Structure 1
Amino acid sequence: MTDVEGGAGPLLLGVRHHGPGSARAVRAALAAARPAVVLIEGPPEADALIPLAADEDMRPPVALLAHAVDEPGRSAFWPLAEFSPEWVAIRWAVEHGVPARFIDLPATHTLAWEKEDEAGHGGEGEDEGPEGGSEGRTPEADADTAREATPDAEVRVDPLAVLARTGGYDDPERWWEDVVEHRGTGEGDAFAPFEVLEEAMGALREVYGTGGHDRDPVREAYMRLQVRAAQREFGDAAVAVVCGAWHVPALRQRVGVGADRALLKGLPKVKVDVTWVPWTHRRLARASGYGAGIDSPGWYGHLFGARDRPVERWMTKVAGLLRDEDRMVSSAHVIEAVRLAETLGAMRGRPLPGLTETTDAVRAVMCEGSDVPLALVRDRLVVGDVLGEVPESAPAVPLQRDLTRLQRRLRLKPEALERELELDLRKDTDAERSRLLHRLRLLGVRWGEPAASRGSTGTFRETWRLRWEPELAVRIAEAGVWGTTVLSAATAKAEADAVGAGALADVTALAERCLLAELSDALPVVMRVLADRAALDADVGHLAQALPALVRSLRYGDVRGTDTGALTEVAAGLAERVFVGLPPACAALDTEAAEEMRRHVDAVHGAVGLLGETARPDPVSGTPVSGTPASGPVDTEARGPGVAEPSGAADRPAPGRHGGLRRRWHSVLRVLSGRDSVAGVVRGRAVRLLLDDGELAQDEAAVLMGHVLSPGTAPGDAAAWIEGFVGGGSGGGMLLVHDERLLGLVDAWLTRVPAEAFTDVLPLLRRTFSAYEPGVRRTLGELVRRGPGQRGSAVTGAAGMPGFAPDLDVRRADAVLPVLRLLLGPAEAGEGGVDDNNLVGVGT
C-alpha cells in the first residue's frame, strides 16, 4: 500500500457504520495485521474516554455526546452499537493494549459550524451509511425540527443506493445483506473485503466527487494529518484506520501537508465537553430522526451475535415474543417458518434468507397473515428497544450525577421500553418519585408523562408513562445551568419561568406544577407574581382561563401536606373578579367568541365546584371540615372557645370576606340565563348548569326552553341555545332521553323552522347531536319515531308536549282487553268484578 504522501501505507479499513458484516471483517483484519495503533473516525476530544470501553459496566449501545459548554443544547452524538465496526475496533485495541485514537474533525469545529448554520439540522456528520461520517446529530429544542433535511441534503449521493442499483437491486439494505452479511464465514484473505469496497468507493468518487457532502474535504484533510502523525510515531505499516468507506479514497490520495492545513485554517471554534451516554437500538433506526444508515438495528444485532444458523435462532426469538403476548406458537410453527423463509430465499435467488424473507414467513406461519402481531415483532425485535449502560466513572455534569443518585435510591431504573408506573402518594417512596418526575418535567426532562389513572380517581393516585430517550442526556446538560441538584435546578427554573411568563394562565399552571413538585422555596415567588398579574389583568377570558389550574392546585394540599392558604386567597379573589366581569363580557359576541366564552363558563363552574369541595381546617380543633376555602375563617370569638358549631354550619358558607362563593356564582348564572344580549350558547349553558346543580327546577327549565324556542326567536339563536343546553359533551343527550318534555320542545321547534332557515341551523344541530354516544342517538331517534305514549319518561305529567305526552289511545288500548281476559280468567263471584279500566291502569 502507499500512504497519503507515498511509501508504505497504513491499513485503511473502510466500513459501513453499524454494519455487522463490516464489524466482523474489522475484527478479523485487526487480528491478522496486529497494528501498533488503531485510528478511528470520531471526535478527538473523546480520546480520554476510550479506556472506559473496557469497564464491565459499559454495555452498548452507547454514544459519545459532545456539547458546547456555553450552550449545552448545541450537541452531537456518535452512537456505537455492539455490531458497530468502530466499537469492535475500540474493544480490540483496549483488550490487546494497543493505543486507540479518534481522528475525525474535532467537535469544537463541527459544533461551531452548526452554530453558524441557519438550518440548524443534525450534527451527524454529513453522511450516513457506508460512506462514513460521524454518527452524531445535533438535536435542537424541537427534535422534530432537527430531523428535517436541508435542500442540499436532497442532492447528496448515497453510495450504498448507487451500488445497489448498479447490481440490479432496488433495496440497498437487501443488496448489503446479499453482498456483505451473507458472504460466508470469513475464511481466506481478511483484507479482501476492504480492498473490494475501496475499489467501489474510488469509482464512485471519481464520478461524483464529494457527492454533495461539502464539508467532507475539510474532515478528510484533518484525518490525513492525523494519519501522518501516527505514521511518524509508530511507523508507516503499523497504523490501522477504521473509517467510513466513503473516505478511504480521499485518505489514499497524495495531498500535500500544506494543502491540508490550508483547508483547516480559520475554522470556527467553541468550547466543548464530551462524555459517554446510553443509547438505544430504536435511535439507530432512520425513522427515529437520529439515523445511522440502518433500518433494522435489532436484526443487525442478531446477525452479529448469531453467526451460525441465524434464521433458526431468529424464528426462535420471534416465537418467544409471540408466546409472551399469549399467542399460540408451537415448535411446528418455528420449523415451518424456517422452511418457508429458506424456500423464499432460494426462489428469489438470495444466498441466505434475509429480513424480507423471514418477515414474510413470520407473517404467513406465525401471524396467520395478520400485520398486527407482525408490527409487534418489528417494534420489539427488528428495531428493538435495548438501552445501553455507561459506568459511573464516565464524566457527567453534577445534575446528572444527582439524578443518577436519586434514580438508584428511589429504584427508578431508566428503561427504553415504555412502561406505566402507578404511584400511591400516601407512601413516602412513591411521593418522592412523584416529586422527582414533576421536577424533571419542569426542567424540560420529560422522562415521564402523566397518564389517566384507571384504578382510582383520588388525588392520592398518580399514573405515569416512563420511557428513557437518549437525548434526555442533552436536556439534563441544558438544565445544569439552573443548579447542581434536581431540587435546586427546578426551584431556580420555576422562579425564572414565573418572572418571564407572558400570560396569567401560564403563571397559574406554574403554581400548580410547583405544588406537585413540592418546590416550597419557589412557590412564594410564583405566588407574588401571580397576585401581581391577577391584579393587573382585566381580561375576563384570561382570568377564567387561569382560575381552574389555580383551584386544582388546592386539592394537592391535603395528600402532599402543602400549605395552600395563600393560594386559596388568590383563587377566591380571582373568582370574585370573574363573577363581576363575566356578564358584560358575554354580550354582543360573534359565534367563535361565544363558543370560547362557553368553554370559560364551564371551566369556572368546575373551578367553583372544586373550590367549594376543598377542605379547610377548623381553627379550634384543627380537623378538616367541608366548606368553601374562600369563605374565610370561622368566627370563634363570637361563639366563644369550646362552643360546638351548630349542626349543618360546616355545610353553609361561613360569614366573612369570601362567604357564599358558590351562591354568588349561581346568581351570575341566573343573570346570564336571563339576558337577551348574551349569546345563545352561553345562555343555554347557564340554564343547564343551574339545572344540574339543583338551582333550577325542571319545570322552570322547560319554561325557559319554551320561551327561547318560541316562533319569535330567530332559528340561529334558538339552535345556539340548544347547543349550549344539551351540547358540548355535557350529557345533554341523556337529559333529553329522560325528560321527554324537553325533547318534545326541541322536536316542536324543529318542525316549525322555515325551510329557508333550516339549512342555516342544520350544521349547528348536527354538531350538537353528533357528539352524543351512538346509543343515545339511537334512543332519541326511537323516541321521536314512536311518537306519543309509547315510552314512559322520568318526568311525566297530565299535560305534555304533543307527540311526547302520556296521552292514551283508547281504541288501541281496547284491542288488548280480550287477550287480557283470556290470560287472567273470568272474575270470581264475590270479588266485586274487575273493571276493564283496572286491567290497564286507567282511572287509577
Structure 2
Amino acid sequence: MFGIRHHGPGSARALRRALEEFKPDAVLVEGPPEADAIVDLAADPDMVPPVALLAYAPGEPPLPGDEAASWTDRRAAFWPFAEFSPEWQAVRYALEEGVAVRFCDLPAANQLIPPVPDGAPGEPAPERPEATEDAENAGDAENTGDVGEGRGGATAEEDIRLDPLGWLARAAGYEDAERWWDDVVEHRDGGPSPFPAIAEAMAELRDRVAERPSATGLPSGYAAREEQREAAMRRTLRRAVKDGFDRIAVVCGAWHVPAVLAKVPAARDDQTLRGLPKAKVSMTWVPWTHGRLAERSGYGAGVRSPGWYAHLFAAPDRPVERWLTAAAGLLRQEGLHVSSAHVIEAVRLAEALAALRDRPLAGLDEVTEATRAVLCDGADLPVELVRRRMVVGERLGSVPDDTPMVPLQRDLADRQRRLRLAPSADPRDLELDLRRDLDLARSHLLHRLTLLEVDWGTPAESRGKGTFRETWTLCWRPEFDVELIEASAWGTTVAGASAARAEAMAAEAGSLAEVTAVVERCLLADLGAALPAVMRILADRAALDGDVAHLMDALPALVRALRYGDVRGTGTGPLGTVVDGLVVRVCVGLVPASRGLDDDAARDLLGRIDRTHSALALLDDAAHTARWHTTLATLVDRDGLHGLLEGRLTRLLLDAGILPDVPDRMARAVSSGAAPVRAAAWVEGFLSEGGLVLVHDDVLLRLVDGWIAGLPAGAFTDVLPLLRRAFAEFAAAERRAIGDRVRHLSDPPSARPLDDPVDPVRAAPATETVLRILATGGDHA
C-alpha cells in the first residue's frame, strides 16, 4: 500500500523509488476503472502532462427551458495528472515495465450521479463543505484544508476527517499543514520510504473518527459515497488477487490506506455497491493546465504552487539555485536589471531563512521572500510577475492524435492545425486582417465557436481602424473540451453545429433585437446554411412586431450585418429587404411614439434615435436618409415634444444642413417664457454630441450664455445638474475653448483676439493639394 497525497513531487519521487524496489506485477491506481481501456495512451510520447481523464455523459444536452431534462446530460468529471503527480508516475512505471495497471476507484458511471442523503430518496445530496460547483473534485476525498481554523464548531472527529494533515501538522508543532507536508515529504530526497509512516499515521487518525456517519459533520450522502469508494477499491484488489497477481502495488490517497487494508467481508462490499444508480459515460484524455491544478482555481485537491512543484520534481539537484536563476532570467526579459550577484545573494538569503525556520530546504515562502528583497528591491509588481509565470507556471499539456474524441473535437483540432492556431493556456492577442483569406477563415472559426459557447477567443478592441480589422484574445481552458462534447449534439463539425445552434437561438429568441443579433453573428461566422431559416424567422418577427422601440433596437445590428457583407464577401441580399421594411416602419411609427414622454422615457427614446441615426449614416442609402430626415423635421415641430428630444433633433438636423433657423429655435427654447428645466433639457439634448458648435457659432454661444446669466438663483440651482451633465461629456479641449470664447463675449469687436492672418503664398501648396483631392475634373486655378 502506498498512501500518497495528490500532486506532490516528493511523493512522486518516493513512489517511483518504492515501486522500483518492490517490483510489482500489477499496479492499482486510484481512478475510474472505465479508464483501463485508454490507460495505454499514457505511454505515447505525444502524451505530455498536465493532462486529465475526462468522464462525461454523452446524452443529448437539454434545450434552454427544458426543466424535465436530466442534470446528468451536462455532467462531467476530471481526474487531473501532472508530471509530479504520484499516480502519473505509477502509471508510467507500470507501462514502461510492462506491468499490468488498473484503476481502482468507484466507477465514473456511479460518481456522475450525486449521492442521495438519508431519508430523501432521489434527491441530490448537498455538496461537501470544501467542494465547488465543478465536478473535477470527484475522487478527492483526502483534500486538505487550512490548519487551525475552526469549521463552524466542528468536533475533533469532524475536523480529523475534513483535515487529517492539519492534525498531523499540529502534532508536529506546525501551524501550516502545507509547510509541514513539504518539510517531511515533498522536500525529502532519498532516505527511507515515507509510506509505512504515512499509513500508520492515517490509521491512528481514522481510529479517532467516530463510526457513525452523522458524527462526521458531513452530509450523510457524502459519508456514504466515501464508503462506496473504499468498497470499490477493496473489490478491485480482490479481483487482482483472483486474477493471479502476486505482488500488487496499490496507489491511493493516504486517507484510504487503512480502509483498503481493513478486513471487510467481500459480501459486505458487494452489498454496499449493489444497486447504485449509473449514468452512461464515456472516457477520454484531455489536455490540462497548471493553473487548473492550483487551489485558487477551485480544484479540491489542488496545490498552492504547481510551477514550484514541477520545478522541484524536474530539478531535485540544487532546486533553489536553479529557481532563482530562472527568476532572474524572467526579470531580465522584462527589462529589469538583475545580475549574477543578485542571484548569489538571493540564494544565501533563502538558505539563511530556511535555517532560521528549521526547514530542511528553502521552500516557496523563503525563495519568494528572497526574490522580493534582493531581485525585486522590495517591489511587489515584479514578484507578482514571478508568481504568475513561475509559481503557477501556466502550462498546457497535450494528448496524442489517436485519443478518443467526439467528431466535433476532432474537426476543431483539424481546423486549428490548418489555420495555424495552436491552443495555448497563456492569453495572447491575435490581430486579423479580414482582407486576407487565412485571417478571414480564422475569424469565421472563432465566431462559430462563440455561437457554441466555446469562448476560446474573446473579441478585443482593435488597434487599427476600419471594418476589415479584428482583434481577439485567445486563451484555451480545459473545460472547453467538455463544452465541445456538449455542443456535439448540434453537429459533427464546427460549421454544422454552429449553424444548427444559430437556428435554435433564433427560434428561441424573446425579442426582435435578439433575432437580429443572431443574424449578425451568422454573417460574422459565415453560416450561409443557417441564414435562410434565421432570415425567415426575422421577417416573420419584424412583420408582427409593431413596437417602434423594438424595431429601432433591431435596425443597428442589421445595418452592421450589411456592412460586414461588403468586407467579408458574404451574401446579404435578403437582409437588405428586411432593412428597407424596418426603416419605413420606424419612420412611420416614431412620431406617435414620441408623445407624452416623461424624462426617463424621453432619454430612452433619445438613445434609440441616436443609434438609428448612426445606423442609417453607416448604411449610406440616400432614399432612407432623406426619409429619416423628413421624419425628424416633422417631429421637431410638434407641440408637446420633450425638451431633450427637441434639442437633440434640432442638432441632428443642423448637422445635416437642413434646418436653417437654429438660432431662432434656440432663442425660443431658452427665452424667459420657457420653464428653466425644459430649457436646460433642450440645451442638454442639443449639446449631447459635443460642444464644438458653441466654439464656432457666436450667436448660439451668446444665446446659451445670456440664458444662463439671466436665470434666477433658485432656477439656476434647479438646472445646474442638467447643465453639469451636459458639459461633463465634452472633451477637455472643448471646455477650454468654450471658456475662452465666453471670456471674450463682452469685449468690443476691436478688442477681441484676431485669428492669425493667412499668408497666400504659404497657403498655396496646401490649397492646391486640397483642390486635387476634391477635384472631379476641369481647371481648378
Indicate whether the TM-score tops 0.5.
yes
Question: Over residues 311-333 of structure 1, what are the superposed CA-to-partner deviations in whole Å (9 max), with x where a residue is unaligned?
Answer: 11111111122222222222222
Whether 1:545 aligns to 2:553 is yes
Aligned to 1:717: 678
| Aligned residue among 343, 366, 384 for 1:357 | 366
Aligned to 1:704: 665
TM-score (norm 1): 0.79
CA deviation after TM superposition for structure 1 residue 806, in Å: 4.5
Secondary structure of 1:555 counterpart: helix
Aligned to 1:123: 135
Which amino acid is the alignment partner of residue 322 of structure 1? Answer: L
| Aligned residue among 35, 48, 54 for 2:43 | 54
User: In structure 2, what is the Cα distance between the partners aligned to 1:765 and 1:288?
Assistant: 48
Aligned to 2:304: 295
684-693 or 429-438: which moved more? 684-693
Secondary structure of 1:304 counterpart: helix
Whether 1:37 aligns to 2:26 is yes
User: In structure 2, what is the Cα distance between the partners aligned to 1:51 and 1:597?
Assistant: 64
Aligned to 1:821: none
* Maintained 8 Å contact 1:37/1:234: no
Secondary structure of 2:162 counterpart: coil
* Maintained 8 Å contact 2:185/2:194: no
Whether 1:79 aligns to 2:86 is no
CA deviation after TM superposition for structure 1 residue 398, in Å: 0.7
| Aligned residue among 617, 628, 640 for 1:665 | 628
Which amino acid is the alignment partner of residue 767 of structure 1? Answer: R
* Maintained 8 Å contact 1:110/1:123: no
Judged with a 3 Å threshold, the aligned counterparts in structure 2 of structure 1 residues 418 and 151 are, in CA distance, closer, same or farther, namely farther
Secondary structure of 1:469 counterpart: coil
Aligned to 1:769: 727
Question: Over residues 251-282 of structure 1, what are the superposed CA-to-partner deviations in whole Å (9 max), with x where a residue is unaligned?
Answer: 23332223222222332111011100000011
User: In structure 2, what is the Cα distance between the partners aligned to 1:606 and 1:119?
Assistant: 52
Whether 1:692 aligns to 2:701 is no
CA deviation after TM superposition for structure 1 residue 63, in Å: 0.6
| Aligned residue among 231, 240, 252 for 2:261 | 252
Which amino acid is the alignment partner of residue 12 of structure 2? Answer: A
Structure 1 residue ranges without an equivalent (≥5):
1-11, 134-148, 613-627, 629-652, 654-659, 790-803, 814-844
CA deviation after TM superposition for structure 1 residue 81, in Å: 0.7
Secondary structure of 1:124 counterpart: helix
Matched positions, count: 715
Question: Over residues 575-602 of structure 1, what are the superposed CA-to-partner deviations in whole Å (9 max), with x where a residue is unaligned?
Answer: 1111111122122223322222111111
Structure with higher Rg: it is 1
User: In structure 2, what is the Cα distance between the partners aligned to 1:390 and 1:33?
Assistant: 30
Aligned to 1:146: none
User: In structure 2, what is the Cα distance between the partners aligned to 1:45 and 1:68?
Assistant: 13
Question: Over residues 131-174 of structure 1, what are the superposed CA-to-partner deviations in whole Å (9 max), with x where a residue is unaligned?
Answer: 489xxxxxxxxxxxxxxx9999x998233344444444443333
Which amino acid is the alignment partner of residue 230 of structure 2? Answer: E
TM-score (norm 2): 0.86
CA RMSD of aligned residues (A): 2.9
Question: Over residues 731-767 of structure 1, what are the superposed CA-to-partner deviations in whole Å (9 max), with x where a residue is unaligned?
Answer: x144444545544444443444444455544443443
Secondary structure of 2:38 counterpart: helix
Secondary structure of 1:112 counterpart: coil
Aligned to 2:64: none
Whether 1:677 aligns to 2:640 is yes
| Aligned residue among 202, 205, 221 for 1:198 | 202
| Aligned residue among 533, 540, 546 for 1:525 | 533
Question: Over residues 3-38 of structure 1, what are the superposed CA-to-partner deviations in whole Å (9 max), with x where a residue is unaligned?
Answer: xxxxxxxxx211111111221121122112112211
| Aligned residue among 468, 472, 479 for 1:471 | 479
| Aligned residue among 511, 526, 543 for 2:519 | 511
Aligned to 2:270: 261
* Maintained 8 Å contact 1:284/1:291: no
Secondary structure of 1:394 counterpart: coil
Which amino acid is the alignment partner of residue 353 of structure 1? Answer: A
Aligned to 1:818: none
User: In structure 2, what is the Cα distance between the partners aligned to 1:351 and 1:246?
Assistant: 25
Whether 1:229 aligns to 2:239 is yes
CA deviation after TM superposition for structure 1 residue 690, in Å: 2.3
* Maintained 8 Å contact 2:26/2:249: yes
Judged with a 3 Å threshold, the aligned counterparts in structure 2 of structure 1 residues 150 and 773 are, in CA distance, closer, same or farther, namely farther
Aligned to 2:398: 389
Aligned to 1:429: 438
User: In structure 1, what is the Cα distance between the partners aligned to 2:12 and 2:401?
Assistant: 27
CA deviation after TM superposition for structure 1 residue 481, in Å: 0.9
User: In structure 1, what is the Cα distance between the partners aligned to 2:591 and 2:727?
Assistant: 28
* Maintained 8 Å contact 2:137/2:301: no
Whether 1:94 aligns to 2:76 is no
Whether 1:335 aligns to 2:344 is yes
Secondary structure of 1:422 counterpart: strand
Which amino acid is the alignment partner of residue 134 of structure 2? Answer: G
User: In structure 1, what is the Cα distance between the partners aligned to 2:701 and 2:252?
Assistant: 76
* Maintained 8 Å contact 1:283/1:291: no
* Maintained 8 Å contact 1:131/1:244: no
361-370 or 170-179: which moved more? 170-179
Whether 1:179 aligns to 2:184 is yes
| Aligned residue among 577, 589, 603 for 1:581 | 589
Judged with a 3 Å threshold, the aligned counterparts in structure 2 of structure 1 residues 702 and 304 are, in CA distance, closer, same or farther, namely farther
Judged with a 3 Å threshold, the aligned counterparts in structure 2 of structure 1 residues 201 and 124 are, in CA distance, closer, same or farther, namely farther
Which amino acid is the alignment partner of residue 53 of structure 1? Answer: A
CA deviation after TM superposition for structure 1 residue 124, in Å: 3.3
Question: Over residues 461-495 of structure 1, what are the superposed CA-to-partner deviations in whole Å (9 max), with x where a residue is unaligned?
Answer: 22211111111101111111111111211222222
Judged with a 3 Å threshold, the aligned counterparts in structure 2 of structure 1 residues 735 and 19 are, in CA distance, closer, same or farther, namely farther
Question: Over residues 293-320 of structure 1, what are the superposed CA-to-partner deviations in whole Å (9 max), with x where a residue is unaligned?
Answer: 2121111111111111111111111112
Secondary structure of 1:421 counterpart: strand
Aligned to 1:159: 164
User: Which structure 2 residues correspond to residues 728-807 of structure 1 after superposition, within 5 A?
Assistant: 730=689, 732-739=690-697, 741-777=699-735, 787=743, 789=744, 804-807=745-748
Secondary structure of 1:554 counterpart: helix
714-723 or 461-470: which moved more? 714-723
* Maintained 8 Å contact 2:78/2:137: no
User: In structure 2, what is the Cα distance between the partners aligned to 1:351 and 1:666?
Assistant: 81
User: Which structure 2 residues correspond to residues 135-146 of structure 1 after superposition, within 5 A?
Assistant: none
Secondary structure of 1:177 counterpart: helix
Which amino acid is the alignment partner of residue 38 of structure 1? Answer: V
Secondary structure of 1:445 counterpart: coil
Identity of aligned residues (%): 56
CA deviation after TM superposition for structure 1 residue 43, in Å: 0.9
User: In structure 1, what is the Cα distance between the partners aligned to 2:598 and 2:605?
Assistant: 10
User: In structure 2, what is the Cα distance between the partners aligned to 1:231 and 1:211?
Assistant: 36
Which amino acid is the alignment partner of residue 333 of structure 1? Answer: H
* Maintained 8 Å contact 2:311/2:323: yes
Whether 1:63 aligns to 2:63 is no
Secondary structure of 2:432 counterpart: strand
* Maintained 8 Å contact 2:433/2:470: yes
User: In structure 2, what is the Cα distance between the partners aligned to 1:714 and 1:249?
Assistant: 86
Aligned to 1:403: 412
Aligned to 1:239: 248
Judged with a 3 Å threshold, the aligned counterparts in structure 2 of structure 1 residues 344 and 740 are, in CA distance, closer, same or farther, namely farther
Which amino acid is the alignment partner of residue 564 of structure 2? Answer: Y
* Maintained 8 Å contact 2:144/2:301: no
Judged with a 3 Å threshold, the aligned counterparts in structure 2 of structure 1 residues 150 and 164 are, in CA distance, closer, same or farther, namely closer
CA deviation after TM superposition for structure 1 residue 443, in Å: 1.5
Ranked by relative contact order (alpha carbons within 8 Å, sequence separation 6 or more), the top structure is 2
* Maintained 8 Å contact 2:31/2:139: no
Aligned to 1:113: 114
